[in-house]
Chains A and B, each alone.
Chain A
């Protein structure tokens, strides 16, 4: 079993849709959590850190539930430019563990 598991995807949604990604992690001692975005053949780029209190950045909302070891990312009013692979990343003692990623395609 992978340490970080994500929805397999792919998600194909129309512009303006709301889409949610889920992620679970196996090690309860994990210390920090992130969502990265990766475009095809490009490097992962930090989208947002994830906190227990939840955090929002424009159309993006991230939530962390430590008790359930669950992380989510909500994208509202999706744009064509949101098309990418979204990586759930969990940090334990400076060891970053990546989920396999969920591919999102936003269509006109």
Chain B
């Protein structure tokens, strides 16, 4: 079965650089969530989209922005990277706002040097 695809899987950037993470949800899953997971931490919700509109916002820094496109894939744009942005970034998807279960992608490991 098709799963959630994230790219790149690993990314190394320097401080103050920008990064773009991509998420391709499971076909027909129209709701996308972004999470940040630091070492030894639980996933922290950043932002979500339903039908290409932002549906909820969590602890996403102002330096980050995201959008969902017409094919339902989503991109997380990160600017002025800081050392503390080093983390695993997961994308999760589900069907509709009312659907229960979120399916996670494999994550992008971002390292900021």
Contact = CB atoms under 8 A, between A and B. Distances in A.
B101 A43 contact: no
* Chain A interface bracket (under 10, 10 to 19, 20 to 34, 35 or more): 10 to 19
Given A34-B101, A43-B90, A94-B56, A87 B106 contact: no
A91 interface: yes
A43 B102 contact: no
Nearest to A43: B104
A41 B104 CA distance: 13
Interface residues of B, number: 23
Interface string B36-52: 00000111010010000
B102 to A, nearest CB: 6
Interface string B68-103: 000000000000000000001010100001001111
B100 A42 contact: no
A55 interface: no
B70 to A, nearest CB: 22
Contact of A96 (B33, B55, B97, B106): B33
Nearest to B109: A41
B42 A98 contact: yes
Contacts of A42: 106-107
B106 A100 contact: no
Nearest to A99: B42
A44 interface: yes
A32 interface: yes
Interface of A: 32, 34, 41-46, 49, 87, 91, 94-101
Closest 4 CB pairs of A and B: A43-B104, A98-B42, A100-B42, A44-B104
